[in-house]
Amino acid sequence: MKVPGISDNMKNFLGTAVLEAKQKQKIVALLSIARKSGVLFIGQDQLKKAKRKGRYLFVAAQDCSSGVLRFVNNRVEQGRGRLLLIPEKREELFGALGLETTQIVALPENHGLAQEIYRLLGGEGVGQQNSSV
C-alpha cells in the first residue's frame, strides 16, 4: 500500500492498521498510561529533542502533515524505530488524551507499553520482529 510521505523502501513501516474498536481503545489506554508515566513523546518538537540513539514506536494519525511523515520516515529509515499509521483523524485518535491537535506520539520501543501495542497488533515486539505486523 502506497502512503503519501512514506518511502517505498521503508522496512520498519508497520502499515496502516485498520483497528477494531476494542483495539483502538486499548491502544489509546496504553498511550494514556504512557503519558501519565512520563514516557510518551508528544509531537514532532519533543521527538526532535529525544535521545538520538533510542528506537521508538511512532504512532501517527492518518491526517498528519507531509512534514511530520517526512520527519518520521527519515527516523525509521535510519533504523530508529517503527511507524504505525492509524487511519483516524488526530482529534479522534489523540482526543481522549487531551491532545486533539497532536499528529504524532512515540514510545521507547523497548518499553513494556510499546511491547503491548506490538502484541495487540499481532507482532512479537522488539527482538522478535515479525514482517507481518
**DSSP states of 48-100 as a string?**
HHS-SS--EEEEEETT--HHHHHHHHHHHHTTSEEEEEESS-HHHHHGGGT-T
Give the number of other CB atoms < 10 A from CB of residue 13.
22
For residue 52, which of 80, 32, 33 has the smallest C-alpha distance?
80
pTM of the model: 0.79
112-120 vs 21-37: helix crossing angle, rounded to 10: 170
For residue 68, which of 91, 51, 97, 46 has the smallest C-alpha distance?
46
Cα separation, 12 vs 39, whole angstroms: 21
Are 105 and 41 in contact by the 8 Å Cβ rule? The answer is: yes
Q: pLDDT digits over 22-52, tens only?
A: 888 899 999 999 999 999 999 999 988 877 6
Q: Quickly state the pLDDT bin for 14 (edges 50, 70, 90).
A: low
Amino acid at 84: L
Q: pLDDT digits over 75-125, tens only?
A: 899 888 999 888 889 898 898 889 988 999 999 999 999 999 989 888 755
Spell out the CATH class of 13-120. Answer: alpha beta
Cα separation, 72 vs 10, whole angstroms: 11
**The C-alpha cell of 10 is what?**
521503508
